[in-house]
Structure 1
Amino acid sequence: MTVVADQDVQQLLELARNKSQEGRRLLVATISDLFEASGETLTERERALMSDILNKLIRDFEMKVRRELSERLARRGHAPREVVLMLANDEIEVARPILLVSEVLHDQDLVEIIRHRTIQHQLAIAMRQHVSETVSDALVETGNSDVIKALLDNGNARVSTATMEYLVEESRRVDTYQEPLVRRSDLNPALARRMCLWVGAALRSYILGNYEIDPTELDDVLEEVTDETVGAVTEDEEIAEDSSVRLARGLADEGRLTVEMLVQVLRQGEIALFEALFAEMTKLRLRLVRRIVYEPGGEGLVIACRALEIEKPQFTSIFLMSRKGRPGDQRVDPEELSRVLALFDRVQSAAAQIVIRRWQRDPQYLYAIKRIEESGRRKAS
């Protein structure tokens, strides 16, 4: 036995012929009530009949009637998909209820609407109770910052790891992404830290531009806040601790680490131990120490040694012997030595210590500061 009797079908056909506004409203109410009451028990013929009537007449309905139909069908899981799709692609006043809550729409339906309808349609989809990664990707591909922010504000929206990484990078230049990103529970700690670095750099630029404060002291505070927020992650955590690193830390903890020991170890050809000892003394990352020690020119080595208040004879020994640890040509050009020693005389210890403190910071933080400062200079020029 079918749920929709022959008299019901006849009534639908009569209502469909009624061109009055009241007749159209009654048709909408009747069909939507039938879908609600019958659910999956409707036969294919009955569903096809009601869908066909609506498909043929829906474009002739006034917007108020179409909106009422959209509101009625939005929360009905057995609503005719063809009708729901038509309403979802209608003007936003009609489409919004369907786009916000209808579970009849498939991901591909939503993606097509995102690609071919208005920003208002995209915003409504971004605010759905459930948004899949596929739909999120399509929303992000629009490039519209308002749409993307609405997506990020939606805690129920699923965002893929790759898309999250992209949005974190985008938050360098789009400030409105920053707050909703850091509030998301699916933002992993590594991405949170990366983002905090340039958020801190932007805050630094603003503070220095509007208040009288020492840049070094400000950097200390900002990096401390960043570390406390998401946990400090350094490059050296990726480097396995070998015996040289453990020995250097042990000597530093015991207070036995001296400049004389540094020179002696280097003289004995213990390059790895020298690097570890120098890293402990300067509190710099091991990779950065290697770059400073072996890079051409020796400017970084001058600054590091002046910051440690190493005397000129000891610096000269360190410079000459460290050249032997370089790959390739290990000879020392007399002009290079003369230039480095002249630089050593010019650099003041206090100034070198300020530079070292900057080098001690997370290199990504320094890179973020550099980007902010370069952006400021471009805007000023």
Structure 2
Amino acid sequence: MTAAASLQTFSARPAAPTGAARAAAVSPSDLLSLARSRTTDDRQRLLLALAAMCDATPPQGQVSPVMGEIFMALAAQAEHDIRRCLSESLASAEWAPPALINMLALDDIEIARPIIARSPLLQDRDLLKILVEATLEHHIEVARRPRLSGVVADAVIDAAEPATMTALASNRTAEISEDGLRRLVEQSRRIAALRAPLTRHPRLNDVLAGQLYSWVGQALRQAISERFRVDDASVGEAIDAAVLSVGPQRTPSVSVDEPNVAEREEMERRLVAKLQSAGQLRAGFLIRAIREKRLTLFEHGLATLGGFSVAQVRSAVMRSSPDALCLACNAVGIDRAVLPAVLDEVRKLTDGWPGKTQGANWAQMTLSPAAAAQEFRALIGAA
């Protein structure tokens, strides 16, 4: 949908804000008076009118930096319905300011969805940022994006979020590598929703089909058999051998679908490494990880962002005083205001560590990040 068409559609909505409903009628001669106005309605009309003009006569390449700043300033003040209309208008535009596109991609999901799905201006680094900073609904839209690159597909798999991986498995145009597809098939052992889309995936090969065949239902087995030659006897023998090898040692409380701890930690390490290489690993990611009860992801992220070893971070976690962990958090930019909540979440996952034999030395949080990192290494080294 073009910006002009969006304006006409938007102007026909009874519930549209006053002023925005008349945006389609704005002529170039009215733009100056709209720019001089300070009212919210006029600023919204100006925003949509500028978008319509640029869409009708696209600039060569991107709009000028000044025009980009005008778009950003106006969009930041616009109401939800205006931003949604703008998002639909700019979703396919090649001339739109990249900063505006990124802002809309991180907005409410109703606003972000068309941008994530269609904008040619979103780069891999932008999509990785969405995976770090936005909601699960945003992550699902990223996984559904047509012709998704292998770098972003790997990041989706590394995060191991069932709904996002299922969306990726259903995306026939995503550039999923053979290793990535293998990891999805392995995840399908515990995530039933992955099995059906993987059964139909165009990149599924004989080897992966045989692996998938061993834990899907009868209907999906038939679908696999129609595409591949699968030896039922060989599959049955493999399953029996696996059961016999672990059966006597397995306790009833352990589920056969329980993900391997070492495998999950390796996936989290890969995710952290990818975010770091893309420049998207930040303190906010660590806070989110610990709030989601993902301690090993928090530890790997803290170690990578601070330039520490994972062993040093885990040593700080298991100390009788929280001082070392506070220093590490300070070194990576975690604000003092949220640090008590971070400590509480860590303690819930570690049976009370770091201990409370001494209260945290909050004076350490006034150190610069570099000084805090140096103090952390000295403290851990002294131990």
TM-score by length of 1: 0.52
**Structure 1 residue aligned with 2:45:** 26
Q: Pairwise CA RMSD of aligned residues?
A: 3.5
**Structure 1 residue aligned with 2:176:** 159
**Structure 1 residue aligned with 2:240:** 366
1:115 aligns with 2:132: yes
Higher-helix-fraction structure: 1
CA contact (8 A) 1:70 1:95 kept: yes
Q: Which has the larger radius of gyration?
A: 1
CA contact (8 A) 1:16 1:53 kept: no
Q: 1:161 to 1:14 in 2, by over 3 A?
A: farther
Q: 1:83 to 1:12 in 2, by over 3 A?
A: farther
CA contact (8 A) 2:157 2:183 kept: no
**Structure 1 residue aligned with 2:87:** 70
Instruction: State the 1:12 CA deviation.
Output: 4.4
Q: Give the paired residue count.
A: 228
Instruction: State the 1:176 CA deviation.
Output: 1.1
Q: 1:232 to 1:129 in 2, by over 3 A?
A: closer
Distance 1:29 1:84 in 2: 15
Instruction: State the 1:55 CA deviation.
Output: 1.5
**Structure 2 residue aligned with 1:230:** 228
Instruction: State the 1:33 CA deviation.
Output: 1.9
Percent identity over paired residues: 30
CA contact (8 A) 2:68 2:100 kept: yes
Instruction: State the 1:123 CA deviation.
Output: 1.2
CA contact (8 A) 1:24 1:65 kept: no
Distance 2:149 2:122 in 1: 12
Distance 1:77 1:157 in 2: 22
SS class of match (1:103): coil
Distance 1:147 1:172 in 2: 16
SS class of match (1:50): helix
Deviations 1:44-96 (A, max 9, x none): 7x622321112123221111111111111011122111111111122222211
Distance 1:143 1:187 in 2: 20
**Structure 2 residue aligned with 1:322:** none
Instruction: State the 1:224 CA deviation.
Output: 10
Instruction: State the 1:26 CA deviation.
Output: 2.0
**Structure 2 residue aligned with 1:82:** 99
Instruction: State the 1:99 CA deviation.
Output: 0.8
Deviations 1:251-276 (A, max 9, x none): xxxxxxxxxxxxxxxxxxxxxxxxxx
**Structure 2 residue aligned with 1:312:** none
**Structure 2 residue aligned with 1:194:** 211
Where in structure 2 are there 5+ consecutive unaligned residues?
A: 1-26, 256-383
Aligned mate of 1:58, from 67, 75, 100: 75
**Structure 1 residue aligned with 2:151:** 134
Instruction: State the 1:22 CA deviation.
Output: 3.6
1:39 aligns with 2:37: no
Spell out the pairing of 1:142-181 with structure 2 (5 A cutoff): 142-181=159-198
